[in-house]
Amino acid sequence: MRHRKAGVHLSRTSAHRKALFSNLVAALLTNERIRTTDAKAKETRRLAERTITWARRVGDVLTKKVDRRTTEESARVVHAVRMARRVVRDRGAVLKLFDEIAPRFEGRRGGYTRIVKLGQRPGDAAPMSLLELLPDEGGSAPSAPAEAPAKGDKGAGKAAKPAADKGTAAKAPAKAAAKGEAKAPAKAKAEKKPAEKSSKK
């Protein structure tokens, strides 16, 4: 039985593992999407959703001005910030969490992130995933970084080829004209040489 064995070890010491996941959650909150291995993405999602829930629970208090909050409400906010800082050590990420991300998920009870499988990493064939925060309902998703298509993803390769063909089709006449100009002086030289030889004879 695996009592009290939750979480993954990832062949790291506990201090290294805590620092790793703290940095991953901070990167997720700052950039709203990260690309990592499947095992790290699943564990990071568990910690990130717990942290976002702490901020979401005090969303009603965050909408009030600081001087309008009661002593109890101020204490709730301080407690939530401290609990979030247990996981996320980056001050900027925590500020963004409470200012932007928590209001976005105020009406949602869990499920703030999603994992998209990206295929295998070249080199060690580790399964890779894209972990991202869900976009605002009615808003647009955060702009995706240019990802290389995974091996076996035939659709992405086909979609990229026509754009390249258009560019090369436009350049083709210019190249042909340049080649024709380069060949013309060479032909003229070849015609002059037999004439010179015949005059010498």
Q: 26: domain CATH number?
A: 3.90.1030.10
Residue 2 lies in a domain: no
**How far apart (Å, rounded) are the C-alpha atoms in residues 53 and 35?**
22
Residue 111 region, left (φ>0) first, then alpha (ψ -120 to 50), else beta?
left
Q: Which helix (H) or strand (E) holds 117?
A: strand 113-120
pLDDT at 132: 96
Indicate the angle between helix axes 71-87 and 14-31, nearest 10 degrees. 120
Classify residue 67 by its DSSP letter: G
CA atoms of 60 and 107, how far apart (whole Å): 11
Let me know whether 77 and 164 are in one domain.
no
pLDDT band at 60 (very low <50, low <70, confident <90, very high): confident
pLDDT at 142: 53
Name the residue type at position 24.
Answer: L
Count CA within 13 A, CB hemisphere, residue 98.
22
pLDDT at 109 over 50: yes
pLDDT value at position 82? Answer: 96
Kindly state whether residue 100 falls inside one of the protein's structural domains: yes
Give residue 198's domain range: 153-201
